[in-house]
Amino acid sequence: MEKETAKIMARPKKIKPPVNLETVLRIVLPRKRPEDRMKIFREFAKVNLWARLGRQPSEEEFHREFEEWCKKQFYSGIDWLSDSLKEFVPKYSAENRKKRAQIAAAKRWSEKS
């Protein structure tokens, strides 16, 4: 009789503060690919900066702000960031779906003409 061996999966490591931005994004957006997580966060940071400044930020201002986010170590401020991102992601996804649909419709109509 052969023993059946169960597949043993390793438990994920407990996350101890301080954590970097990539780890926070992995926790908050677990089902997204790493590049999509960062793309979503870039848009979130841009909108956040726009709301703070009250105007469209320049590329230099945005890059400076984004670099600060990337260097930042998160100790206990993950909750407010995760709440903000969870509110932002559905709006961002809906906006992207709408843009893709408009582009597809324009392409379809141009082919029919």
What is the C-alpha separation between 17 and 55, in angstroms, rounded?
34
| Residue 20, φ and ψ in degrees, nearest 5 | -90, 180
Number of domains in the chain: 1
Per-residue pLDDT at 102 exceeds 80: yes
Residue 6 belongs to some domain of the structure: no
Residue 9 belongs to some domain of the structure: no
pLDDT in tens, 5-51: 556 666 767 777 788 889 889 988 889 899 999 999 999 999 999 99
pLDDT in tens, 62-97: 999 999 999 988 887 677 888 888 899 999 889 989
What is the C-alpha separation between 25 and 78, in angstroms, rounded?
10
Secondary structure class of 7 (helix, strand, coil): coil
What is the C-alpha separation between 52 and 33, in angstroms, rounded?
28
Residue 1 belongs to some domain of the structure: no
pLDDT for 3:
54
Maximum C-alpha span of the chain: 73
Domain carrying residue 45: 21-107
Residue 5 belongs to some domain of the structure: no
